[in-house]
Structure 1
Amino acid sequence: MKGNVIVGQSGGPTAAINSSLAGVYRTAKDRGAKKVYGMLHGIQGLMQEKYIDLSDHIKTELDAELLKRTPAAFLGSCRYKLPAIHEDQSVYEKIFAILDKLDIEAFIYIGGNDSMDTIKKLSDYAIITGHPTRFVGCPKTIDNDLALTDHTPGFGSAAKYIGTSMKEIIRDSFCLEYSKGLVSIVEIMGRNAGWLTGACALAAGEDCEGPDMIYLPELPFDIAEFGRRVRELLEKKPSVVVAVSEGIRTADGKYVCELGNSVDFVDAFGHKQLSGTASYLASYIAGEIGCKTRAIELSTLQRSASHCSSRVDILEAYQVGGAAVKAADEGDSGKMVVLQRLSDDPYQCGTEVKDVHKIANDEKLVPREWVTEDGTYVTGEFISYVRPLIQGDVSPVMVDGIPRHLYTPKELSQR
């Protein structure tokens, strides 16, 4: 590698996103990159010439290990949608002028669906103009909805946290008895794909029966039928625990969370901010049945719980970061690194690269056959798919009883 490398992080953070960053940095340096720059707040920050030299912040092996164990995006993130090339070439001219100024040979972007849209557009512009910089995507999303890859870094750790938290919620829900019963509704992230919500089933085992019902956004949600099933369960047991995706919708396509309040915020990619699904359903059940209800929203906890991260996830995140640099160094552009499962027992997984045009703006949903016929739970095939991804632990570096993280760059904290 003769030139420099620049790396950015985009979209929602995860407990493993910084492990990919560490993989990019270490592999780039090992392959001879003169400098490895980090964009502050992704492509949006780069357009404002906000970037750092990562060697000023990752000085020792301990720094690299701390970075792997630090949640959220160390470099800061963004949700910025590049215009189509024919709509505004000036944006691309500005970006590529900055890349030329920094002598960038490889551009690595760590992110999900929307981030791969950025890689696609930048690599297309490079082809059109004959620009030598190579653009490679590094997968990241707790939603696990990227096409062509077996799974995405970030998902395993989030699934581990969700399974663990669900088990603790179930245990807590049986502490007190209420005359008409208790219904706890747990809201999990997932707009269109129910991978995270399905992970609640990991709570089931010899010492825990798991959640009573699981509802994914892939199937229409019938509120009246939901109420009937809850009432039926309460006749058999004093406590009911249900997991729902934030993105569940009624048959007419309306988000359940919109039934209780309007959704006002829409991001640059047209995504509505979803919140309040559990709260609405808890109120509905309380009104229909008259029992005590609890609405529990895991929210950002499920993507920032590095203290409960999966060792497999952290190692694979580091692996795909390194593979992205290797791919760019060997001439690939307009590609994304994917994880290819080789076996389940023992679990083995490798990497390869795929055309980002076949990945960007596409979504991988939970297969219908991995959801029970009545749509209220996931099947054994789903559990067999997820379980290898949550194995092992990564011990935090503890200082005074609290995990130590790598400091956020000064330039970022003063933005």
Structure 2
Amino acid sequence: MKNLLVAQSGGPTAAINSTLVGVLTYAYTKKGDIGKVYGAINGIEGVFEEKFIDITEKVKDTESMNLLSNTPSSALGSCRYKLGDKKEDEEKLKDIIAVFRKYNIGYFVYIGGNDSMDTVYKLAAYCELNKIDDIKVVGAPKTIDNDLAKIDHCPGFGSAAKYVATTFAEIERDISVYNTKSVTIVEVMGRNVGWLTAASALSKQAGGNGPSLIYLCESDFDMDNFIESIKNIFKTKSNVLVAISEGIKNKDGRYISEEVQSDMVDSFGHKYISGAARVLEEVVRKEIGCKVRSIELNLMQRCSAHILSRTDIEESKLLGMKACQCAIDGNAGVMATIIRKSNNPYEIELSSVPVSEVANIEKKVPLHWINKEGNGVQQEMIDYLLPLIQGEVEIEYRNGIPKHMIL
């Protein structure tokens, strides 16, 4: 009887543990087919170091499942380790298989985003090339960026979008009380895609005005047009709220934030980017001279479990169950996915896709979902986003603070 191993990787989210719960839920129904259920601490790095825990000792009843599902961040820890391909890093791939053999691992579910799916792809390809058919490697998606290909929307995105929409509604209420002209620029996560920034438009759904200007990565950012847009808005209102993706670029493809950032990159070759709002703050101060401030949401938008989307949490669990089912059924080298059937009523179905069609591919916002001025979103975007933030989750509190589970 083979054991199952599950791990988490990449940036933490408010829903990644719900996906873990989904994996465990399905695994527990297959006790006759699998042995132990291990969790690798710190992703693929934990596999190399054999840092495993028996999850069944800590998560074994409905109460603990529910608490873990509503606990933000990666309960098993995470990593950002770049695994080479079969030629560049064959020894590392051999080491992983050796560890799997040592612990009798027959099923490996890796929960993560684009870089994690790259790891799933390389490991599954190595197994196929070397005719290793007793180890099934499967991916379970997650990312607040919502940039994975072959999936309608990603676990973690809905809750992050709900947080962003709520935060913009609250900021808009705050700044609207003054008659003094002011500009507030809020920077939202999104290196090369603007899905999460677009969610700021949802702040209008509860009766507020929301941001006056929204700039996504997919459109070239024009500084002159930006300043002119603010001046035009000032003709009719005193307060301008602006939403920008951290990765907005000019027509030459250069990040706006590069004016205040170094050229350092992470292990996957990605530039460290943030600070675009600060750049724009200084430009507005110089060109317009009004009161201006920049706000960088930064980490807060990733793991805000006090405002979870019930839709997001429920779907994240279902995708974990689907990924585990794929592994146990022998459907290796795939990622569990969501197909949207309709918006109204909102309906989805679960499926799986070859991870080779997902790894290293970014799903960008369709350009026709952005207005022609490049500073707002169309109704198609609202129709897409709105179902994903529906519903609330009952949170357990201790001494006035949301209670979390630590594995």
Per the TM superposition, whether the score is higher than 0.5 is: yes
In structure 1, the residue matched to 2:135 is 133
Equivalent-residue separation in structure 2 for 1:206 and 1:105 (angstroms): 49
In 2, Cα distance between equivalents of 1:74 and 1:65: 13
Whether 1:40 and 2:41 are equivalent positions in the alignment is yes
Give 2:182's aligned residue.
Answer: 182
Asked if the contact 2:3–2:36 (Cα under 8 Å) also holds between the matched residues in 1, the reply is yes
Per-residue displacement from partner, 1:33-81 (whole Å, max 9, x unpaired)?
A: 2111111110012111111110122132211111011000000011111
Name the SS for the 2:53 alignment partner: strand
- 1:285-333 per-residue CA deviation (whole Å, 9 max, x = no partner) reads 0111110111011111111101111000000000000000111111111
- Once residues 362 and 88 of structure 1 are traced to their aligned partners in structure 2, the CA distance between those partners, rounded to angstroms, is 21
TM-score by length of 1: 0.96
Q: Partner residue of 1:169?
A: 171
Runs of 4+ in 1 over 3 A off after TM superposition: none
Letter in 2 for 1:336: M
How many Å separate the matches in 2 of 1:82 and 1:151? 25
Structure 1's unaligned 5+ residue stretches are 410-415
**1:123 matches 2:109:** no
Which residue in the other structure is 1:150 paired with? Answer: 152
The CA deviation at 1:176 is 2.5
Retained in 1: the 8 A contact 2:261–2:273? no
C-alpha distance in 2 between matches for 1:365 and 1:391 = 23
Q: Could you say what secondary structure the match of 1:204 adopts?
A: helix
| Distance in structure 1 (CA, Å) of the matches to 2:367 and 2:299 | 27
The residue correspondences of 1:259-270 to structure 2 (distance < 5 A) are: 259=259, 261-270=260-269
Q: State whether residues 15 and 155 of structure 2, in contact with CA within 8 Å, keep that contact through their aligned partners in structure 1.
A: yes
Counterpart of 1:285, as a letter, is V
2:103 maps to 102
User: What's 1:412 paired with?
Assistant: none
In the other structure, the counterpart of 1:394 is: 393
Aligned equivalents of 2:61 and 2:335: distance in 1?
Answer: 29
Within 5 Å, give how 1:180-219 maps onto structure 2.
181-205=181-205, 207-219=207-219
CA distance in 2, matches of 1:29, 1:143: 31
Q: Which amino acid in 1 is paired with 2:30? A: R
Q: Distance in 2 between matches of 1:87 and 1:245?
A: 34
What is the CA deviation profile of residues 234-263 of structure 1, one whole-angstrom value per residue up to 9, with x for unaligned ones? 22211000000000001111100112x133
Secondary structure, counterpart of 1:4 in structure 2? strand
Tell me if the contact between 2:143 and 2:157 (Cα under 8 Å) persists in the aligned partners: yes
CA deviation after TM superposition for structure 1 residue 128, in Å: 1.5
Which residue of 2 is the match for residue 240 of structure 1?
A: 240
Residue number in structure 1 paired with 2:67: 66
- How far apart are residue 130 of structure 1 and its match? 1.6
Quick one: distance in 2 between partners of 1:257 and 1:234? 25
Q: Which residue of 2 aligns with 1:12?
A: 11
Counterpart of 1:406? 405
Query: What secondary structure does 1:25 align onto?
Result: helix
Deviation track 1:186-219 (CA, whole Å, cap 9, x = no partner) reads 0000011100000000011362121101000001
Counterpart CA distance in 2 for 1:67 and 1:206 is 30
Say if 1:307 and 1:395, in contact at 8 Å, map to a contact too. Answer: no
In structure 2, relative to structure 1, the CA distance for the partners of 1:104 and 1:287 (3 Å cut) is same
Aligned mates of 2:205, 2:9 — CA distance in 1: 36
Q: 1:265 to 1:394 in 2, by over 3 A?
A: farther
Task: Indicate the residue corresponding to 1:275 in structure 2.
Answer: 274
How many residues of Structure 1 are paired with residues of Structure 2 in the alignment?
A: 404
Whether the aligned pair in 1 keeps the contact of 2:261 and 2:275 (CA below 8 Å) is: no
Q: Which amino acid aligns with 2:69?
A: K
Instruction: Report the secondary structure of 1:208's partner residue.
Output: coil
354-363 or 270-279: bigger deviation:
270-279
The AA in structure 2 aligned to 1:16 is: A
- Distance between the aligned counterparts of 2:93 and 2:110, measured in 1? 16
Residues in 2 aligned to 1:39 and 1:206: alpha-carbon distance in whole angstroms? 42
Matched with 1:316 is 315
* Residue 252 (structure 1) aligns with: 252
Identical aligned pairs, as a percentage? 46
Equivalent in the alignment of 1:413? none
